Each structure stands twice: as structure tokens, then as C-alpha cells.
Amino acid sequence: MFVKTSGKGNLLIVSLYVDDLIFTRDNAKMVTDTVFKDSMKKEFDMTDLGKMSNFLGAEIVQNDKGIFINQSDKVC
């Protein structure tokens, strides 16, 4: 996990696990999706899969009401 702060109220969090990368920020002006993704693509061979729907076995649902994370205890 990498955390970058830039002044008061500007936070960027990048989480990397093997070949999965997710990021979030609290201020869209700090870094736009396009700027961050373009800079990562210059350094690494990567594919943008869009909004996250699962990560490390957890299901993620993003909608107008918020972000919901669910991890089933079922064994596959």
C-alpha cells in the first residue's frame, strides 16, 4: 500500500497485490483518473478494467448510495 499526501485534505491511496492495483483519493483535483492511469501505463504493462467489482475475493458494488463490500464465507 502506498499513501501520498499533498497539503491539507489531499490523500491518494494505491493498493497493489500481485497483479491487482486499486487506487482512491479524497480530492479529484489532486490527481484525475486519467493522469494517474496514464502515468502508471507509461511505467507498467497494464490494462484498465474499469470500476472495481471484486478484489482479493471480496465483491464490491458501487452505486449512488455508496460503496458496498461483501465477502462470502463460502469455500469454492
Q: Residues near 43 by Cβ (< 8 Å), separated by ≥ 6? A: none
Structure confidence by residue, pLDDT tens digits, 9-27? 788 888 888 878 888 888 7
Structure confidence by residue, pLDDT tens digits, 41-66? 888 888 888 788 888 888 999 889 98
Q: What is the rounded CA–CA span in Å between residue 59 and residue 52?
A: 9
Q: Where are the domains of the chain?
A: 2-70
Model confidence, pTM: 0.62
Report the half-sphere exposure of 31 (CA within 13 A, side-chain side).
18
